[in-house]
Amino acid sequence: MEQAQQTLKEVAQAGDFEGLLKPSSGRKLNPDGFSALHMALQNGHSYTADRLTGFDKELLRVKGRNGFTPLHAVAQRDEIELLAEFLRANPESIEDLTIGMRPRFTSL
């Protein structure tokens, strides 16, 4: 794995918000097909994920492996409050969650 990608992965897994603020970091995918936001969510770092989306709400629309967005990761983990917060931050991101897929939450 390339050094920069390894560092990005470690920073996201550790929940290090400051290390993720590099403008180019947010949209890049690691070799596994995940962005920094995907990685933070997968590793239970909701605070880091929240801060990242506050920095750039379009990070919610970055498609990773199999076309999944960070919104999918939140929905799959049943983190309803964080999902609602993300949808308030970027209402258009719901299109990425539902187009071509069955919505997981229909009561929102």
Tens place of pLDDT for every residue, the chain, 108 residues?
455 555 556 666 676 656 555 555 678 888 889 888 888 888 888 888 888 888 888 889 999 988 888 888 888 888 889 889 999 998 988 887 655 555 455 444
Length of the chain measured in residues: 108
Q: What is the pTM of this model?
A: 0.69
Look at residue 1 in the predicted model and tell me its pLDDT.
Answer: 46
Joined tokens for residue 31: 């070799």
What domains, with CATH codes, occur in the chain? 3-98 (1.25.40.20)
How many other CB atoms are found less than 10 A from the CB of residue 76?
12
DSSP state of 95: H
Helix, strand, coil abundance in the chain, percent, nearest 5: 60, 0, 40
Look at residue 30 in the predicted model and tell me its pLDDT.
Answer: 84
Joined tokens for residue 51: 């801060």
CB-CB contact of 82 with 73 (8 Å): no
